[in-house]
């Protein structure tokens, strides 16, 4: 059996040797749209993280039995064509929950504590010249007794909520699907949650209900000094509106996801005046060493169960 891994660079240095138990393994670090068909031509199993597999690809690959999406989202595979031609498609869920929860708090504390400012203050020699032993020019607040609003109450949202409660925050949530319920946190409508929260974190999927969920008018209703974190999907927050409002109002944004990834050149977020109000990471919340190892192990398990 032939297994083709199309974008191994996504997994970093995570060992991929476990795939060899299934037969011949061909590994590509990256695969462009123009290269995909040639590389999967004789594959029995395809492993893809973000490389798109179209219906045309499937119709051309006569030996194809299984497409393993090494991710949770399945929008990069034509599922209808796969079903019509009895090609199994398997994704992996839940592998990065702890990693994303941890990165949520990492982003929060970086912004709350003005970590970039104070790190540079010491390293550029300013502290050495100070007449006093400390610097309180950039005040920070405690999470305790603050209102934390969660948008999207799946496993990650619940995990963030539980830790926020441990810090003493008052946690509420807005369910984007309308289906999720929790007796541990107060349920609110979106407008009230935005108006009342000191901290807002997003852990929702991107769909018709969440696209542009937070645009300029909604962001205007947020409290002065509020921190807004998006660890769900790009497109939930309108990025052009963020670039506009961040220079008009004291709002802080932590973004691990953008609508277009990698970030396009000359992006509006790179040209704001108040860069200190932005913390952007390149879609890394899911990428802890443990999460990537679990992702590969579960992908291998998917192959074993089907083949």
Which class in CATH covers the domain with range 97-280?
A: alpha beta
Closest to 227 (Cα-Cα) out of 186, 273, 194, 259:
194
pLDDT tens per residue across span 286-301: 999 999 999 999 999 9
Tell me the pLDDT tens digit for each residue of 40-76. Answer: 999 999 999 999 999 999 999 999 999 999 999 898 9
- Model confidence at 104: pLDDT above 80: yes
pTM of the predicted structure, to 2 decimals:
0.94
Residue 180 confidence class, pLDDT cut points 50, 70, 90: confident
- Closest to 279 (Cα-Cα) out of 251, 306, 252, 250: 252
What is the CATH code of the structural domain delimited by 2-93+289-306?
3.40.50.720
Domain map (residue ranges) of the chain = 2-93+289-306, 97-280
Q: Is the pLDDT of residue 187 over 80?
A: yes
- As a whole number, the mean pLDDT across the chain is 97
How far are the Cα atoms of 1, 15, 32, 51, 114 from residue 26, in angstroms, in the given order?
11, 14, 16, 15, 46
Can you tell me which residue has the tokens 């970590």?
115
- As a whole number of angstroms, the distance between CA 151 and CA 284 comes to 20
**Residues 6, 286: Cα–Cα separation, whole Å:** 19
> At 9, is the pLDDT very low, low, confident or very high (cuts 50, 70, 90)?
very high
Same fold: 2-93+289-306 with 97-280: yes
């Amino acid at each position: 059996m032939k297994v083709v891994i199309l974008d191994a660079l996504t997994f970093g240095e995570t060992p991929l040797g476990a795939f060899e138990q299934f037969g011949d393994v061909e590994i590509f670090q990256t695969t462009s749209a123009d290269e995909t068909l040639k590389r999967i031509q004789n594959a029995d199993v395809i492993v893809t993280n973000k490389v798109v597999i179209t219906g045309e690809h499937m119709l051309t690959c006569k030996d194809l039995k299984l497409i393993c999406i090494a991710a949770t989202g399945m929008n990069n595979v034509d599922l209808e064509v796969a079903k019509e031609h009895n090609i199994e498609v398997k994704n992996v869920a839940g592998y990065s929950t702890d990693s994303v929860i941890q990165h949520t708090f990492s982003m929060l504390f970086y912004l709350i504590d003005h970590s970039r400012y104070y790190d540079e203050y010491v390293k550029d020699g300013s502290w050495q010249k100070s007449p006093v032993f400390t610097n309180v020019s950039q005040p920070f607040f405690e999470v305790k007794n603050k209102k934390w609003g969660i948008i999207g109450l799946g496993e990650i949202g619940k995990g963030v909520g539980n830790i926020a409660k441990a810090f003493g925050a008052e946690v509420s949530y807005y369910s984007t699907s309308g289906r999720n319920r929790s007796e541990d946190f107060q349920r609110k409508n979106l407008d009230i949650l935005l108006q009342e929260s000191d901290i807002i974190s997003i852990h929702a999927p991107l769909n018709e209900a969440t696209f542009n969920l937070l645009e300029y008018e909604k962001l205007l209703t947020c409290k002065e000094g509020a921190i807004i974190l998006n660890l769900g999907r790009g497109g939930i927050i309108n990025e052009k509106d963020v670039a506009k409002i961040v220079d008009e109002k004291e709002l802080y944004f932590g973004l691990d996801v953008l609508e277009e990834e990698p970030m396009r050149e000359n992006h509006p977020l790179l040209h704001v005046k108040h860069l200190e109000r932005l913390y952007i990471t390149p879609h890394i919340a899911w990428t802890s060493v443990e999460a990537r190892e679990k992702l590969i192990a579960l992908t291998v398990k998917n192959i074993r169960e089907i083949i």
